[in-house]
Chain A
Amino acid sequence: MTRERMELLARAWRRRITAREVLFVAAAGCAAVAGAAFWWPLTIVLPAAFALAAVTLLARLAQLQPWKLGAPHVARHLDRAFPELEESSELWLRPPAALTFVEQLQRRRVDEVAEHLDPSLGAPARDFLRTAWICFAAGVVLLAAALLWSMTRSEPRGAWAVEQTSATGDETTQTPPLATVSPKIERAELAISPPAYTGRPERVVSGLNAEIEEGSAVAWSITMDRDVQELRVRFGSRDDDPLLLRPDDNRTFRAEHTIRETSLYSVRALLPDQTVWAPTELYSLKVIKDRAPGLKILQPAAARTEIAPPSAPEAPAPTVAVEVLISDDYAIKDAHLIATVAKGTGEAVKFREQTFPFDGSEPAAQEPNARRFVKTFDLRALGLEPGDELYFHVEAADNREPASNRARSETRFIVLQGTDQSVSSPGAGVAGVNLVPQYFRSQRQIIIDTEKLIADQPTLPAAEFRDRANDLAIDQQLLRQRYGQFLGEEAETHEEHSPDDGHDHGADMPAPPPRNQEEVAAQFGHQHDTQDTATLFDREVKGTMRQALAAMWEAERFLRVANPGEALMPENRALQILKELQQADRAYVQRVGFEAAPINFSERRLRGDVTDVPATALFPAPAPQSDAAEEAIRLALRAAPWQQAEPTFLAALREIEPTLTAAATREPEVFMAGLQALRGLLAGEAAQPQSREDLERALLRILPAAKPQPARAREVSPSFAKPYFDSLGRRDATEPAG
């Protein structure tokens, strides 16, 4: 053993002691960080723990002062550890020449003893640092566990984690790790090729958002700022079929896809180190739908148009001009008229439908994508007669492919006026059935003709006057006979004969055999009702009608004798009676309310048998159904501005994402910014004022409008109110109201 050897031993001790202290302090620091990470974020805990550990280490080293450890300390250690050395280790520190004789003797002795001792005499033990290393390892394990826990607790970063909390809730397994270094999109272009039928040119837009025509082919060209192994475009929240982009090189990727619906998509990349880059940015492709053609009938403007019939057969045929303005996003492929002719009345009405092309078209002056189509209907060519109607509408189809958008206009009515409609209608007829409107008119016409005959009498020859009077009498007779049918009268063409009618009927002829079932039945029975009474009308109506027939008889008699002046009065009386009949058959409903006799409720109420009615019955009202997504939105809005959002509110934000995504897909211009802000929040980004407003606005738009609610007022100084009213006493309270 020499002094040099002891210096080496001292250095070894210094290193070991320092290492031990460092390991113990590091272990304690790791444990402290692991514990503190449960309450505070790592960004605060780590620097604090480092600083504390540094201070502790310095303090400990200052206490131990290992740098002062030298050979004398080693010598004292040897003396303590090895009694065989007889407290003489310090002799090795002194130069042999400086030793006294006794010291030299003693040194020789301890040299001999030292040769028989352990070769590593005085060196630190091999397991000197074992405990320290164990503690340090335990601390590191604890810290790692805390870090893992902290990472799982903290908000997911990047779209990969968002995917794990997608709407389906399925945990994605075997997911590559997130990229630690994010690449950037250096350049992005969309080449948009609208469908050929639109006639729109191809165009290239910068960026990844665009408005495109329905069915457009979109070609992505994305250049990254660094090498990327694989690049995909992921539509919506689904990850089942992402679009893989073709690499031109390791940085530029291309892909084509036909877009028919408005879509949100994101970009994801697989980096060369097999990590995934999944930014939270969403991009939108808003599809401009091809709208169906718009039709506007300019002529005829009114829904129903009545046209006067031609006054004479040789007059020009009535026509109807139709003018239609048809507009479309791109072009009109087809337009035609569908017309229906309705002829006849009542149950005899017949319809005939025809399709007509337009006569021509021209571009509309005001609207760029519209054309004006014209067509002229010749009503006579269509076979319309007075009283008939023509209905038509327009159908148009645009040039959309593969299937056209079709549209039809409203229906227009063209009515060719009938001759009978120029005279005022007499009414609804008897009991609501329009039986014989023309007969009433004829009676009036007879009167008019009679008056005209009387007026013309001075100028007319006597023979012609008699003929015209006789003609009127015949008309009056026909009219009387038609009305007589309603009273069961026979036609006068079949006169009845009886044995006592005053003229010869020849030999008695045997009764003719019965000709039908009714006659056979009549032989063996008798009819209680006669034809005279077997009609729909009651006795009063029949009596009145008989009076009309009698008046007609009288008028006919005077007309037969060419005395129209006398006939005029019964004619008018017959017309008046007929009018009264019409009026008398109208239904009458009293239009005043029913007033019941007043009921004394106090006498009548609560007098029933109530034994089966329970004394008390409880009916809880059903609670309103709550919408989970709506509740989540309300919860998230309460937590705004989200800087200090708690986990429950973040869970609400996650719950909102599918709803907001659906809304953004529907109306990206309204909800896209809010969705971006939401995804940013979920990715752990700080809520910026603008993104906060975007998200707030989007969430508020999803919710239904607020309804008024009754809020209780706030009492001012409630502690004063009670003593005040107590001191007022009961006098005020017992005063009657008002």
Chain B
Amino acid sequence: MSFAFIISMSALALLVAWLEWRRRNARQLGARLVCSTMAVAALALLGASRLDDETTARPGTTHATLWTSDAGADTPAAKDASGGDLQFILPGVLTRPAGAITVPDVAYIRRRHPEIGSLRIVGDGLEPFDLPAVEGLKLAWDADGSRPSRPTITVANFPRLLSLGDNLVVQGRIEGLAAGEKARLVLQGPQENATEITVNGRADAPTPFEISGGSPAAEGQFVWQLKMNAGSDTTLLADERIGVAVVRPMLPRVLVLESSPRLETSHLRRWFSEIGGALQSRTLVGRDRYRFAATNSSGAAFSVIDSELLNRFDLVIADPAAVLSLTTAEREAVRAAIVNDGLGLLLLAGSEPLGADATDDAAFFLSWKTARAGDEAAPNETNARAARLRWPGLTTPLDHPVPVAPLVFEESAGEIPLVSDSQGAPVVTSFRRGRGKIALSLVLESWRWRLEEQAPTFARYWSYLLHHVAKPQTSETPQWRIATAAHTPILPNQPLSLVYSAAGAPAGAAEITSAETGERTVLPLAQDPTEPQNWRATVWPRHAGWHRVTMPPEGAEMNFFVHEQHEWVSLASARRRVSTAAFVARAQRKLAELLPPAIASQRRVPTASPALLFALFLLSAGYLWVERRRGANV
């Protein structure tokens, strides 16, 4: 009962009483006043009880059962539940107890049946976005009854956007695989190239897997096929599609500063030219004499390194001598670009330990704790050591060794090793410096890979290195991304949160186009209150297939794949189970804390019967009417 309601009812009662008071006929004044007030009070209480019913919707005492899937329908708990007061079924459930009502969603039950106080959920449970609708009910759910009876994929993570040249890697978990039982996973790419792995079941935990599916030869929207067979026979346990959009990667813009011509830089420049990247180099070829070279860009010679120049690059590759040859102002500009703007700096070491001749202002770049590897007494025996490199993503060290400086890194706090040798000793390591990174590479001659016809290894090595050291993409270019469950399959009729990031407000209206049907939908965007460059929208895809979200006129677009309703059923089921289990546990905990006082307060305030109130109102009003009629006759 709201305060305004009470005030208004009181005012009404006073008004009626005042009107009675003012009547010149003072006969039976007291009775009239009482009846007037009582009629208004009865009317007010009648309305108030109705309002309370509508607004608070306190759980009643009715028990109901909701069948969410066919899983677990034959368990004893489910059979007990079939005898409850009310039976509801969500669409698509084939198990139909007698008298069950099919409802479109959970919220429908709450709207139409406010008397329900407790709800037993049978099956896999509810979608995460459905769970708030059962808030406040006493919930019961049998988690064990809905577990899969055969091995199923319950978790699958993969990137929805894949950079051209990167391999698609799918990680996931298999549930229901007994200890020692084998399952064979096959990931078939769009070029019909297939990868196959075999996983062994674990004793008391889901079995994780990771499978790599190669990379298509071009950009576009492609569909992979993930199949799972039982290890012993050809029974197909899962056959799912994975839609991935392959996009052209945003290449880092690289500035190379070198104190003498190096083959390493020369090959790096050639490789960048091949892949269409922008690389500019400045090489000291004589006293105060520089040679500039640029690939695929209109790079021009420059005389001073300042913040304006550095803003055009995402990564600086330099040798220590080149860093030392910079002026103090130039070094400060590089330092500020690293710390404030996220610029990456990759130092290519020589054979001598760093930092020995570093000045104070160069210490920011060159104070690395390195020591000479091997025999200290005979430092001139060798100027390099051959190392087989490895980095995350490689299962085994590379077959082709390359020369590495005879130095080792001493352990330092904050060190992020990037590349190591076959013994695990880091050969490229990095530190975060403010917003950017500084890395030091001991690898001397990676160009040997290119001469040994191992160009893909060279490309893989430098791709990995530049990816981790270069300045990351910010909102300098408008882009779309998927905010919720970014690495799992998108299913129809489920909410999908899209985020558009741009430096300014979007100039046009965002649109989603279904590639299959051609249907276009305008997407209203809401600016994020905490991150103003982000604009969010939630869509519920209704059709399967490829969709493209665009933002004209900038042209930022993103493709995403919506699966059919019958795909990834096991994954959706697992997601429902996990979210329902967590929600039910939380609800039960909350109910245990709040229910006793709530019940006590309800008992202390008895509610009057609406019929009684109505009768009281009729009596009061009837008396007043009769009294008025009698007065008139008199």
Interface residues of A (CB under 8 A from B): 598, 605-606, 608, 610, 613-624, 633-634, 637-638, 640-641, 643-644, 693, 696-697, 699-701, 703-715, 717-722, 725-726, 728, 730, 732-734, 736-738
**Contact A733–B335 (Cβ < 8 Å):** yes
A-B contact pairs, 30 of them (CB 8 A): A605-B260, A610-B288, A616-B303, A617-B290, A618-B292, A620-B299, A621-B269, A633-B218, A634-B218, A638-B218, A696-B222, A697-B190, A700-B191, A708-B166, A708-B459, A708-B460, A709-B459, A710-B249, A710-B251, A710-B277, A711-B249, A711-B467, A712-B314, A712-B467, A712-B470, A719-B531, A720-B531, A725-B340, A738-B410, A738-B413
- By CB atoms of chain A within 10 A, which of B165, B366, B481 has the most? B165
A738 neighbours in B (Cβ, 8 Å): 367-369, 410, 412-415, 431
Q: Does B295 contact A (CB under 8 A)?
A: yes
Given A710-B251, A719-B533: A621 and B342 within 8 A (CB)?
no
A704 to B532, CA, bound (A): 43
Do B251 and A634 touch across chains, with their CB atoms under 8 A apart?
no
Beta-carbon contact of B435 and A640 below 8 Å? no
Of B446-454, B513-521, B581-589, which stretch is located at the interface? B513-521
Q: Is the CB of B275 within 8 A of A706?
A: no
> Once the chains are docked, how many angstroms separate the CA of A623 from the CA of B276?
8
Choose among B166, B277, B285, B431 the residue that contacts A737 (Cβ–Cβ < 8 A).
B431
List, in ascending order, chain A residues with CB within 8 A of B98's CB: none
User: What residues on A are CB-neighbors of B513 within 8 Å?
Assistant: 644
Q: If A643-B516, A717-B531, A737-B364 touch, does A711 touch B301 (CB 8 Å cutoff)? A: no
Interface string of B242-263 (1 = CB under 8 A from A): 0000000111100000001000
Interface string of B224-237 (1 = CB under 8 A from A): 00000000000000
Residues from chain A with Cβ under 8 Å of B123 in the complex = none
User: Which B residues fall within an 8 A CB radius of A?
Assistant: 163-166, 190-192, 215-223, 249-252, 260, 269-270, 273-277, 285-296, 299-301, 303, 314, 335, 338-340, 342, 363-369, 380, 410, 412-415, 431, 433-435, 438, 455-456, 459-460, 462-468, 470-475, 481, 513, 515-516, 518, 531-534, 545-546
Cβ of A638 and Cβ of B460 under 8 Å apart? no
- 10 more contacts with CB within 8 A, not counting A613-B289, A719-B531, are A617-B285, A697-B192, A701-B191, A703-B217, A707-B165, A707-B275, A712-B251, A718-B474, A732-B434, A736-B363
- In the bound complex, what is the Cα–Cα distance between A699 and B221 (angstroms)? 13
A616 to B287, CA, bound (A): 11
A544 to B563, CA, bound (A): 94
Complex Cα spacing A730 to B534, Å: 28
- Interface contact A719-B467, CB-CB below 8 Å: no
With both beta carbons as reference points, the residue of chain B lying nearest to A701 in the complex is identified as: B191
Contact A696 B220 (CB under 8 A): yes
Q: Is the CB of A610 within 8 A of B289?
A: yes
Q: Which residues from chain A contact B415 at a C-beta distance below 8 Å?
A: 738
Give chain A residues whose Cβ lies under 8 Å from the Cβ of B190: 693, 696-697, 700
Shortest distance between the CB of B429 and any CB in chain A (Å): 9
Q: List chain A residues, Cβ under 8 A from B166.
A: 708-709, 711
Chain A neighbourhood of B462, CB < 8 A: 710
Cβ contact within 8 Å between A618 and B289: no
Q: How far is the CA of A727 from the CA of B202 in the complex (A)?
A: 48
Q: A708-B459, A733-B339 are in contact. Are A613 and B269 (CB under 8 A)?
A: no
What is the distance, in angstroms, from B218's C-beta to the closest C-beta of chain A? 4
Residues of B near A696 (CB, < 8 A) are 190, 220, 222
Tell me which residues across on chain A come within 8 A of B290, comparing CB atoms: 615-617
Name the CB-closest residue of A to B517: A643
Q: Are B286 and A613 in contact (CB under 8 A)?
A: yes
Q: Select one of B292, B431, B474 contacting A617, CB under 8 A.
A: B292
Distance A63 CA – B238 CA, assembled complex (angstroms): 68
Query: Given B215, B218, B250, B534, which contacts A699 in the complex, CB threshold below 8 Å?
Result: B218
Contacts of B463 in A (CB 8 A): 708-711
Closest 3 CB pairs of A and B: A711-B249, A738-B412, A710-B466
B316 CB to nearest chain A CB (Å): 14
- How distant is the Cα of A715 from the Cα of B476 in the complex, in angstroms? 11
A-B contact count (CB 8 A): 219
How far does the Cβ of B505 sit from chain A's closest Cβ, in whole Å?
14
Q: Which single residue of chain B is at the shortest CB-CB distance from A618?
A: B292
Whether A713 contacts B474 in the complex (CB less than 8 A), given A610-B289, A618-B300, A703-B217, comes out as: no
Contact of A719 among B221, B314, B410, B475 (CB under 8 A): B475
Chain A residue with Cβ nearest B435: A725
Q: CB < 8 Å: which of B221, B455, B456, B467 contacts A713?
A: B467
Task: Specify which chain A residues have a CB less than 8 angstroms from the CB of B467 in the assembled complex.
Answer: 710-713
Q: Which residue of A lies closest to B431 (CB)?
A: A737
Q: Which residue of B lies closest to A702 (CB)?
A: B217
For B299, the chain A residues whose CB sits under 8 A away are 618, 620
Tell which of A638, A644, A693, A738 has the most Cβ of chain B within 10 Å: A738
A696–B190 CA distance with the chains assembled, in angstroms: 8
Please determine whether A709 and B368 come into contact, CB atoms closer than 8 angstroms.
Answer: no
Residues of B within 8 A of A706 (CB): 164-165, 215-218
Q: How far is the CA of A621 from the CA of B286 in the complex (A)?
A: 21
Known: A610-B286, A618-B293. A709 touches B275 (CB 8 A): yes
Q: Are A737 and B368 in contact (CB under 8 A)?
A: yes
A713 cross-chain contacts in B, Cβ below 8 A: 467-468, 470, 472-473
Q: Contact: A737 with B165, CB < 8 Å?
A: no
- Given the interface contacts A640-B220, A696-B222, does A715 sit within 8 Å of B473 by beta carbon? yes
Tell me if B294 and A618 are in contact (CB < 8 A).
yes
- Which one of B192, B217, B223, B291 contacts A705 once the chains associate, using CB atoms below 8 Å? B217
* B338, B438, B465, B472 interface centre (most CB from chain A within 10 Å): B472
Per the bound structure, the CA–CA distance linking A620 and B300 in Å amounts to: 9
How far in angstroms is the closest Cβ of chain B from A685? Answer: 16
A660 to nearest B CB, angstroms? 14
Q: Chain A contacts of B314 at CB under 8 A? A: 712
Distance, CA A738 to CA B338, complexed state (A)? 16
For residue A308, give the distance in angstroms from its CB to the closest CB of chain B.
45
Given known contacts A621-B293, A733-B434, is B217 in contact with A704 (CB within 8 Å)?
Answer: yes
| Minimum distance in angstroms from B393 CB to a CB of chain A | 11
Q: Are A700 and B217 in contact (CB under 8 A)?
A: yes
Q: Given A613-B289, A713-B472, A621–B294 Cβ distance below 8 Å?
A: yes
- Asked if A725 meets B434 with Cβ closer than 8 Å, knowing A706-B164, A736-B363, the reply is yes
- Residues in A with CB closer than 8 Å to B289 are 610, 613-616
- Indicate the member of B218, B338, B513 with the most A CB atoms within 10 Å: B218
CA–CA, A615 and B286, complex, Å: 9
- B-chain residues with CB within 8 Å of residue A736 when the two chains form the complex: 363-364, 367
Complexed CA–CA distance, A40 and B455 (Å): 50
Residues in chain A near residue B363, CB distance under 8 A: 736-737
Contacts of A732 in B (CB 8 A): 433-434
Contacts of A640 in B (CB 8 A): 220-221
Tell me the complex Cα distance, A331–B215, Å: 45
CA of A598 to CA of B381 in the docked complex: distance in angstroms?
12
The reply to whether B217 and A641 contact each other, CB–CB distance below 8 Å, is no
A719 to B472, CA, bound (A): 13
The smallest C-beta distance from B129 to any residue of chain A, in angstroms, reads 24
Which chain A residues lie closer than 8 Å to B533 at the CB level?
Answer: 718-719
Is the pair A619, B292 in contact by a Cβ cutoff of 8 Å?
A: yes
Q: Which residues of B contact A707 (CB under 8 A)?
A: 165, 275, 455-456, 459
For A721, what are the chain B residues with a Cβ–Cβ distance below 8 Å? 342, 435, 474
For the complex, give the distance between the alpha carbons of A643 and B514 in Å: 10
Q: Which residue of B lies closest to A724 (CB)?
A: B435
A617:B291 contact, CB within 8 angstroms: yes
Given A708-B456, A733-B433, A737-B364, are A641 and B472 also a contact pair (CB < 8 Å)? no
Pick the most buried of A619, A638, A707: most chain B CB atoms within 10 A of its CB. Answer: A707
Across the two chains, which residue of chain B brings its CB closest to A622? B273
What separation, in Å, do the CA atoms of A637 and B219 have in the docked complex?
A: 7
Q: A620-B294, A701-B191, A733-B433 given as contacts; is B250 within 8 A of A712 (CB)?
A: yes
Collect the chain B residues with CB atoms within 8 Å of residue A624's CB. Answer: 273-274, 276
A641 in contact with B164 (CB, 8 Å): no
